[in-house]
Structure 1
Amino acid sequence: MRRNKRGGTEDNPSEIDLTPMLDVVFIMLIFFIVTASFIKEAGVEVNRPDASTSSKKENVNILIAVTATNEIWIDKRRVDKRAVRSVVERMHAENPKGAVVIQADKASNTETVTAVIDASRSAGVYDVSLATEDS
């Protein structure tokens, strides 16, 4: 308590208690972190081809991107064509219900995309699909 000039005490302190406001801010922060939807991405931007017939895939766990320069990306890491099978086997062992979705660029070679499909199937994943844009 402070004393004013007359010798008495001051009833209204001039300090503001920020504790309740900080509690509210932290609760809101926790709420937004818990309710945020996390999007799984392949790691590179791919210009996918258009398709008139397409269907949504649920529970996609293995995303493989093939860029215009025929680079293969899995889980934001560049992978050699010969290593695709082992990476897909490892990821499929972690989640056996997962499917493989290949995001191939319009300018990528069919040979590279076919090699990725074959490697995925030889890894034991037979639910392989190609991602396209709705036209």
Structure 2
Amino acid sequence: MNRVRISRQRRSKGAEINMAPLLDMVFILLIFFIVTTSFVKESGVEIQRPTAKSAMPREKVHLMVEVTQTGDLFIEGKSIDIRSLRARMKRFIVETPGGSVVIVADRQSSTGTVIRVLDESRLAGVENISVSARKPE
């Protein structure tokens, strides 16, 4: 009998996938997301917050009122007069029902100014008011 010889064909290497462009795209996307990530919105006002051992990170801040060392007030980086603060907060409550206000006061600022901001917030109808502090290092 004749034996038929069947030869096994060796598989060719075939097409290779070049991973370099894929890695380039991954790094470009990573850089894009790092650059475009929205961080906590803080204005450029220089404030030294007091420390508190019980300080907790805030979940979601709707309106930040900043009190500087000299007693100046800022909302969203814009200077505001104490007399127009209540009207601004009333408008905020209408636009954001249930919104909260965070008072970011410099540790050298006047307690009277902070109390006035608290008072104006309450008179405007804000229910959730907190004072910002940082944990000691």
Q: Which residue of 1 aligns with 2:59?
A: 58
CA separation in 2, counterparts of 1:92 and 1:34? 32
Deviation at 1:44, TM superposition (A): 1.0
> What's the TM-score once normalised by structure 1's chain length?
0.72
Aligned-pair Cα RMSD in Å: 2.5
* Counterpart amino acid of residue 80 in structure 1: D
Runs of 4+ more than 2 Å apart: 31-35
Q: Which residue of 2 aligns with 1:44?
A: 45
Q: Which residue of 1 aligns with 2:127?
A: 126
Q: Which residue of 2 aligns with 1:101?
A: 102
Q: Which residue of 2 aligns with 1:7?
A: none
Relative to structure 1, is the Cα distance of residues 105 and 71 closer, same or farther in structure 2, using a 3 angstrom cutoff? Answer: same
* Counterpart amino acid of residue 110 in structure 2: N
CA separation in 2, counterparts of 1:42 and 1:88? 18
Aligned length: 112
CA separation in 2, counterparts of 1:67 and 1:103? 9
Query: What do the CA deviations read for 1:29-64 (whole angstroms, capped 9, x no partner)?
Result: 9x5389622421144121000111122221211000
CA separation in 2, counterparts of 1:132 and 1:85? 23
> What's the TM-score once normalised by structure 2's chain length?
0.71
Unaligned 5+ runs, structure 1? 1-23
Q: Which residue of 1 aligns with 2:72?
A: 71
Relative to structure 1, is the Cα distance of residues 42 and 114 closer, same or farther in structure 2, using a 3 angstrom cutoff? Answer: farther
Q: Which residue of 2 aligns with 1:11?
A: none
